[in-house]
Amino acid sequence: MDCVVTDPPYGMSFMGKDWDSALPPKEAFTEMYRVLKSGALAFVMSSPRQDLLWRMMSLLESVGFELKQSPLYWAYASG
Q: What burial letters (b/e) apply to 9-39, b meaning 16+ CB within 10 Å?
A: ebbeeeeeeeeeebbbeeeebeebeeebeee
Q: Is the pLDDT of residue 20 over 90?
A: no
pLDDT value at residue 14 = 57
Q: Is the pLDDT of residue 10 over 80?
A: no
pLDDT value at residue 16 = 60
pTM for the predicted model, two decimal places: 0.74
User: Residue 68, Cα to own-chain centre: how many angstroms?
Assistant: 13
Query: CA separation (Å) from 5 to 8, 14, 41, 77?
Result: 10, 25, 8, 25
Q: Is the pLDDT of residue 1 over 60?
A: yes
For the stretch 34-77, pLDDT in tens is: 999 999 999 988 877 777 788 888 999 999 999 987 777 777 78
